[in-house]
Structure 1
Amino acid sequence: MSHGGGSDAAGIDPEQLWLGSTRPRRGRKPAYSREAITAAAVALADAEGLEAVTIRRVAAQVGAGAMSLYSYAPDKETLLELMVDHVSGELPTAHTPTDDWRAALKAIAHLQRAHMLRHPWLPAALATHRTPGPNTLAFLERALAALRPTGLDGAAKLEVFAQLTAFVAGHVGHEIARAAASRSPDRVAAEVRYLTAVAMDGRHPELAEALAAPARPVTPEATFDRFLNRLVDGLDTG
């Protein structure tokens, strides 16, 4: 994502961003809030994708001048951090204690998938997201509580959650791309013809055997469940 100001995400100060004031310190009472500006950016990204989100476009959405928004978000990277945490507030954070941590972790993954499908820009945004805000931390707290029965140390639990989130983001990104491709029947037919030809050329016996195996349910939900089960059921907590 291109810059809207002079700094980059590596230069964002999380203390200033999340623990500081959410409104400019000087001058008269502002006509806009950081919450309203962030919500406008999220709506724009939901409708048109991340590339549509610029300080100028967001300013137009709230009826402000672009310069006035820099007091709240000095660049697009800061705005992206705010957007990610804003939508994280939609995720339920209550955790019911259970010894079945695998089931709890799978439930978290399903929440993440639904969340990312509601906000298709989110998988790409998470690739550069670096400073977890209060809503993100609240959901992380739920995940860490779910992992308590594993006996893993804190660092390992954080790694498991990062691994799970990366899996969901990658899967949903692929799911969205495949859904877009499936809207072109000619492209799908061409892919089938190509793989059929490759499987019959004699140089890819393993692929030919794999393609000849009985088909499994290919709905997005069934596919996600199979992949998720392999990941979570195979986690080593020893």
Structure 2
Amino acid sequence: MSGDGASVPQGVDPRELWLHQDRPRRGRRPAFTREGIVDAAVELADMEGLEAVTMRKVAARVGAGVMSLYSYAPDKETLLELMVDRVAGELSGGPAPTGDWRADLKAVARSQRANMLRHPWLPAALGSRRTPGPHTLAFMEHVLAALRPTGLDGAARMEVFAQVTGFVAGHVAHEVAQAAAARTPERLAAEARYLAEVAADGRHPELAEALASPRRPVDPDATFTRFLDRLVDGLDVA
């Protein structure tokens, strides 16, 4: 059994984790549910970040003893898997594929971005290999169906899905970091002075030209759309 600092999964059988979760237990009716514990962990991560999610803090949030949580999630890594699938449930139930796979894929990416902005800890959580739970599987099924008109085989469609998800996760992580940096204008001013000096040293002509170009208005939605269009419109599915 692992404590708060566990970083290596304890090898929970995916079948036990996802397929047998509703199997009735013997003895007294439990005071807590796995759903309630996972919801508490998600709320904690949303407010304080992923590093704040410890078994002790989650237990305190639901009014339980730490040891009682281990029957629902034997370690923090398992709890994180449950959290990832919990928020994936916000993505399921979208509109049926239209047949325009590029438009559908862009819609998928926009919904992923919105989901990750609601849960800023999610991009980091997705960096580890995870066993997909029922909500994640439902979303994957939706995306793979949307990509069927590409004519790609199943493995290639999985790669496209992974590519777009990776793009969205990286973009949102950068977006969140930029928003945090914007709250420290003195740091931004110092970075601007540094880049101006670098651009003037004559050794970085390409950078100097880029920095001299007209700046686009700061519009996170427009920036994401521009990047997403370049990615999806440039996919070669021939």
Same fold (TM over 0.5): yes
Runs of 4+ residues deviating >4 angstroms: none
Distance in 2 of aligned mates of 1:151 and 1:217? 38
Aligned to 1:133: 133
- Contact persistence 1:23–1:30 (CA under 8 A): no
Q: Which moved more, 1:107-116 or 1:24-33?
A: 24-33
Q: Deviation per CA, 1:146-168, whole angstroms, max 9, x where unpaired?
A: 10110000000001001111110
Aligned to 1:180: 180
- Contact persistence 2:144–2:158 (CA under 8 A): yes
Distance in 2 of aligned mates of 1:230 and 1:210? 19
Q: Deviation per CA, 1:59-111, whole angstroms, max 9, x where unpaired?
A: 11111111111000000000000001111111143343323211110111000
Q: Which residue type is aligned with residue 186 of structure 1?
A: E
- Contact persistence 1:95–1:142 (CA under 8 A): no
Q: Which moved more, 1:190-199 or 1:19-28?
A: 19-28
Aligned to 2:236: 236
> How many residues get paired?
237
TM-score by length of 1: 0.94
Unpaired segments ≥5 residues, structure 1: none
Q: Which residue type is aligned with residue 123 of structure 2?
A: P
- Contact persistence 2:88–2:135 (CA under 8 A): yes
Q: Which residue type is aligned with residue 14 of structure 2?
A: P
Aligned to 2:166: 166
Distance in 1 of aligned mates of 2:96 and 2:186? 48
Q: Deviation per CA, 1:2-47, whole angstroms, max 9, x where unpaired?
A: 9637783372321111011346734311111100110011111111
Distance 1:207 1:5, change over 3 A: closer
Q: Which moved more, 1:212-221 or 1:145-154?
A: 212-221
What is the deviation of 1:142?
Answer: 1.1
Q: Which residue type is aligned with residue 131 of structure 1?
A: T
- 1:146 and 2:125 correspond: no
Distance 1:177 1:24, change over 3 A: farther
Q: Deviation per CA, 1:104-148, whole angstroms, max 9, x where unpaired?
A: 101110000010000111111111141110001111111111101
Aligned-residue Cα RMSD (Å) equals: 1.8
Q: Which residue type is aligned with residue 164 of structure 1?
A: V
- SS of aligned partner of 1:132: coil
